[in-house]
């Protein structure tokens, strides 16, 4: 565990991120009969110490829901007991009924006033389509945003999102106008998944709330898997798991890699991403088979959390935390896959150096 107490550590010269500590949230529900805590795939700071975190439980341990968390960084550190679940909220369909089990795989979350935006990866193998949904007062479904062509899987599996590699991410710009999500990996028609030998090309989607349309798509180059597996056929994956919008053209992106049996098993990389100058690929059916020149988004590595944290679990969500001593903080959360004997729900805190996010001036 991380040592407790003391003043915030001084930033190391040139270090973009300074580790502020870790807290682990127990999987057991605080009240008997309530759903277990797990599957935290996205986190969003609402105000102060209050955060929302979506669960990707498809109905196995409880209803479609998000948790309300309190995360206390008031002493400049994150220690055991500083992150805790204080409640949870169920999501409902347009008629106020519970969402049907196995019709969703909730992964991304953002909120604005009384509106909650949520993404679902769906389940390609079961014929469940991915979606981006809007929930209003009383957490009732208001609408699902119509996806552009090419994202919903085709009957023959030649186009559309891959199973469990769809919309992990969701973010909203500070002015509330734009939503961003992205595929975790390439669409079927855009090329293969990432391996230790090569990366893949995901698509970012930007939704303009003022006009009610997905107004742009961008090619996002995902890194290769960080290492090869020791066992033939063992899981090797890397994908885009979270986005954090600074403007309509500037994002932070989180890539999560996992290789079963390797050391380290995880690589969690944070990137500064600029969309200015990138090609809007909305009209390109296949990025793998096009004669149109495509300029992908520009990205710059900020840090790999695996280099900074004593232990690292399946980190999938991030949000800005409070400002401490003039330094912006970042909060990350891991998805324990409801496997409490093997994984943990891990909350991590970091302070950002002043020049860690450099903006979009040049490629």
User: Do residues 201 and 186 lie in contact, with contact meaning Cβ atoms separated by under 8 Å?
Assistant: yes
Q: pLDDT digits over 43-100, tens only? A: 999 999 999 999 999 999 999 999 999 999 999 999 999 999 999 999 999 999 999 9
> Measured between alpha carbons, how far is 339 from 57 in angstroms, rounded to an integer?
12
**Residue partners of 309: CB distance under 8 A and separation at least 6:** 19, 22, 348
User: Do residues 67 and 132 lie in contact, with contact meaning Cβ atoms separated by under 8 Å?
Assistant: no
> Measured between alpha carbons, how far is 258 from 234 in angstroms, rounded to an integer?
10
Q: Is the pTM of this model over 0.85?
A: yes
Q: pLDDT digits over 303-355, tens only? A: 999 999 989 999 999 999 999 999 999 999 999 999 998 999 999 999 999 99
> Measured between alpha carbons, how far is 301 from 271 in angstroms, rounded to an integer?
5
Sign of CA dihedral 239, 245, 249, 252: negative
User: Do residues 329 and 343 lie in contact, with contact meaning Cβ atoms separated by under 8 Å?
Assistant: no
**Residue partners of 329: CB distance under 8 A and separation at least 6:** 20, 73, 320, 321, 322, 323, 349, 350, 351, 352
- CATH no. for 18-352: 2.115.10
**Residue partners of 269: CB distance under 8 A and separation at least 6:** 223, 254, 255, 257, 301, 303, 304, 305
Q: Pick from 88, 136, 90, 97: which is nearest to 115 by CA?
A: 136
Q: What is the pLDDT of residue 361?
A: 55
Domain ranges of the chain: 18-352
Q: What is the pLDDT of residue 31?
A: 81
């Amino acid at each position: 565990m991380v040592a407790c107490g003391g003043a915030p550590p001084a930033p190391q010269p040139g270090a973009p991120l300074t580790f502020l500590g870790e807290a682990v949230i127990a999987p057991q529900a605080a009240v008997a009969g309530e759903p277990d805590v797990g599957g935290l795939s996205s986190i969003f700071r609402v105000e102060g110490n209050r955060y929302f975190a979506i669960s990707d439980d498809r109905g196995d341990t409880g209803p479609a829901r998000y948790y309300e968390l309190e995360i206390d960084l008031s002493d400049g550190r994150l220690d055991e007991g500083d992150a805790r679940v204080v409640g949870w909220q169920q999501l409902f369909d347009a008629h106020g009924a519970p969402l049907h089990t196995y019709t969703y795989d909730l992964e991304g979350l953002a909120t604005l006033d009384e509106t909650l935006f949520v993404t679902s990866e769906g389940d390609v193998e079961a014929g469940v389509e991915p979606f981006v949904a809007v929930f209003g007062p009383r957490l009732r479904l208001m609408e699902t945003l119509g996806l552009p062509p090419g994202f919903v899987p085709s009957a023959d599996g030649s186009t559309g999102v891959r199973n469990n590699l769809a919309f992990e991410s969701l973010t909203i710009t500070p002015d509330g106008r734009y939503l961003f999500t992205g595929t975790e990996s390439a669409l079927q028609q855009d090329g293969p998944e990432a391996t230790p030998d090569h990366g893949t090309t995901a698509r970012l989607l930007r939704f303009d709330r003022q006009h009610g349309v997905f107004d742009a798509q961008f090619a996002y180059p995902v890194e290769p898997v960080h290492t090869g597996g020791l066992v033939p056929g063992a899981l090797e994956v890397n994908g885009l798991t979270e986005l954090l919008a600074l403007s309509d053209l500037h994002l932070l992106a989180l890539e999560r890699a996992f290789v079963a049996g390797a050391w380290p098993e995880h690589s969690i990389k944070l990137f500064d991403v600029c969309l200015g100058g990138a090609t809007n690929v909305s009209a390109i059916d296949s990025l793998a088979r096009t004669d149109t020149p495509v300029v992908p988004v520009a990205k710059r590595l900020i840090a790999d959390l695996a280099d900074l944290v004593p232990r690292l679990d399946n980190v999938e969500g991030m949000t800005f935390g409070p400002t401490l001593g003039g330094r912006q903080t970042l909060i990350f959360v891991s998805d324990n896959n409801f496997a409490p004997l093997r994984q943990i729900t891990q909350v991590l805190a970091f302070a950002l150096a002043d020049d860690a996010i450099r903006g979009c001036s040049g490629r």
